[in-house]
Amino acid sequence: MRSSLDLTPASSPEDPEDAERSADSTPTGSQAAWSLRTRRIIFATLVLATVAALGSAFWTVLAVDGWTIPEFVMLGCFLISAPWIVIGFWNALVGFSILRFAPDPMRVVAPCIADTPADSPIDARVAVVMCVRHEDPARVVRRLDAVTRSLDATGWGGRFDVFVLSDSQKPDAVAEEEATISRWRESLARPERVTYRRRTSNEGFKAGNIRDFVLDQGAAYDVMITLDADSVMSGEAILRLVRVMQANPKLGILQSLVVGLPARTIFARAFQFGMRASMRSYTMGAAWWAGDNGPYWGHNAAIRIAAFRDHCRLPTVPGGAPLGGAVLSHDLFEAVLMRKGGYEVRVLPEEGGSWEDNPASLPEFLRRNLRWCQGNMQYLRLIGSPGLPFLGRVNLMIAILMYAGAPAWIVFMVAGAAQAWDPPVVIGGGGDDPFPWTLSTALVVMMMLVLFAPKIMGYLDVLLQPAESRRYGGQGVFAAGVAAEVTFGMLFAPIVSFSVTAFLLQLFVLRKPLGWEAQDRDGRRVRWSEAMRLLWPATLFGVALAVSLWLTAPDVLPWAAPVLIAYIFAAPFTVMTSIDAPDADAPRFRLVAIPEEMDTPVEVRAVSAGPEDAAGAGYAPPMSPFRFDAEPKRAAYSAAAE
């Protein structure tokens, strides 16, 4: 009988039928290759046509009365930043259309997932792998304990082993890590299922840690579930991933849709509310055209170990500092290498049982975001690597554009302020054509629509479904949350753009990279001194921009006010959003509530509960501070089986 994870083809390579199937379909044989090619041509045409139309309209507006140097700069910046937001617009619109009008959205974007039986037995040996570095070990254990007990509740826990892969170097942190995990292992009925391993060398950072595990211990397992230190997944969600991997031997990586855990600070709650609403339609649209060339986000995913070992060895980035050396944003490049090796990479674009913590404050978000920015800039040196699939190069370019748009936007504003000083015309001029006010207004409206489309589509998708709205507390509560998040986003986005721009200058001019340290997962109130030290350049930039416009174009100030306010009040915004929300202890009346606050899964309760409410989460401190009761779920599974 053929194993569900057998990677050898069912027929010989010379079999004409097999060769024809390989040529006409994706590696899993579940989707026609010509269909995906058609989708990609359509999507590329839509993106390029939209960028061309917007660029042409902006050209027409700027060309009145001739061209100045600031206007040329503005046009160039516009064309650099437009592709990223236009891709987001079409991803969201396509995804929204599929979610609203397709009878079976999953079959449209990922037939191999739709065709997988929901109750097939688990034949694979699976390793649950978490990488840590200077993390709170009690926090790590709480998450892993929730995952293992949730897996046990499904009845398939015996197929899973847990590996804690440490890169910690500080002696105190290492001692606490070892002691905490040792106590947890002793509390388990099967302590041998948990392995703790620490590297003395941090070569390759997290990716190197995973690589060492795959080479040293991976041969005993078919699939690994990768987790970050702030991740948690339900047993059902993990089984879904494993079943799809079993049913599709040429599926190399299956990425789950990761959403935020309930949070307390104003920043984390508003940020994850906006992300949660926009991710589903955006990811569904991206999956429609990316298909078997999907993303890997580094955690909460299932990976076929043998394929990963054979095809996903990361290169050393050529050149010197700051971009040379180990690949930092390893996940997307590993996805490209997996597809190069002949395996599919897919995303499961639906919510369900896959969570992570979001940064609790703006400084923590910026640290994480700039680390990603540095990693994505390394793709400039990797995108030309020989043998990469074309769509893989496209995905790498999109990742670069995600951060390249920030400095383009900042320079655009500087050029706009310079234009207000009435610089001399260098080309054209002398005509008497009237200014195209109608076109200019339409362009502004279209740019706002394109920019905010992912959130608009996500919010509409929730509001148009009463059952989905109820998960957020009802349409009224959700609409109020949307208003609050929009206000938050208008203050948040300009600060992020400025920080990315400043960092890219530091990276390419001063050649100063970031380090690799653990995040502050739990959050703390940001001090005024820290906020000012971090954000005084943004504040100064906002003041200078406001003064320039006040002196030269005061009529523009009302239009520029949202951005100017974001810069000038960046420090107060940072301090105020780092505190706990006033109603953080009243879940059903929270302004930006997420579904897990209305109906909390047992896994979320297990990782969120503190000592004071451990009993409510099913903990039993006298036996083990990390235990939660899986009996209700196990009983439910037994009843369903009967």
> Residue 614 has what pLDDT?
35
125 falls within a domain:
yes
86 falls within a domain:
no
> Residue 5 has what pLDDT?
38
177 falls within a domain:
yes
> Residue 320 has what pLDDT?
85
**Taking the CB of residue 453, how many other CB atoms lie within 10 A of it?**
23
Q: Which helix (H) or strand (E) holds 628?
A: none
| Domain coverage including residue 155 | 109-389
Q: Is the pLDDT of residue 23 over 90?
A: no
Q: Is the pLDDT of residue 11 over 50?
A: no
385 falls within a domain:
yes
Q: Is the pLDDT of residue 566 over 80?
A: yes
What φ, ψ does residue 566 adopt, rounded to 5°?
A: -60, -45
pLDDT digits (tens, 9 = 90+) for 573-629: 999 999 988 766 665 567 898 999 889 999 999 998 543 333 333 333 323 333 434
pLDDT digits (tens, 9 = 90+) for 271-306: 999 999 889 899 999 999 999 999 999 999 999 999
Q: Residue 115 gets which letter from DSSP? A: T
> Residue 585 has what pLDDT?
65
pTM listed for this prediction: 0.90
Contact 170, 183 (CB under 8 A): no
- Residue keyed to tokens 């939209």: 50
Q: Residue 612 gets which letter from DSSP? A: G
Work out how many domains the chain is built from and give that number: 1
Q: What is the mean pLDDT of the chain?
A: 89
Dihedral of the alpha carbons of 9, 11, 15, 17, in degrees to the nearest 10? -90
Across 103-107, 335-339, 401-405, 611-615, least confident range? 611-615
- Provide the token pair at 435: 């200014």
Q: What is the average pLDDT across 118-145?
A: 95
> Residue 277 has what pLDDT?
84
594 falls within a domain:
no
pLDDT digits (tens, 9 = 90+) for 263-280: 989 999 999 999 998 898
What φ, ψ does residue 227 adopt, rounded to 5°?
A: -125, 145
| 199 dihedral zone (left: phi>0; alpha: psi -120 to 50; beta) | beta
Contact 18, 250 (CB under 8 A): no
- Provide the token pair at 57: 């309209």
291 falls within a domain:
yes
CA-to-CA distance for 452 and 85, rounded, in angstroms?
9
116 falls within a domain:
yes
pLDDT digits (tens, 9 = 90+) for 429-454: 666 778 888 999 999 999 999 999 99
- Residue keyed to tokens 């990677």: 7
Dihedral of the alpha carbons of 115, 120, 125, 129, in degrees to the nearest 10? 60
CA-to-CA distance for 371 and 196, rounded, in angstroms?
27
CATH code, 354: 3.90.550.10
pLDDT digits (tens, 9 = 90+) for 488-532: 999 999 999 999 999 999 999 888 877 655 566 666 799 999 999
226 falls within a domain:
yes
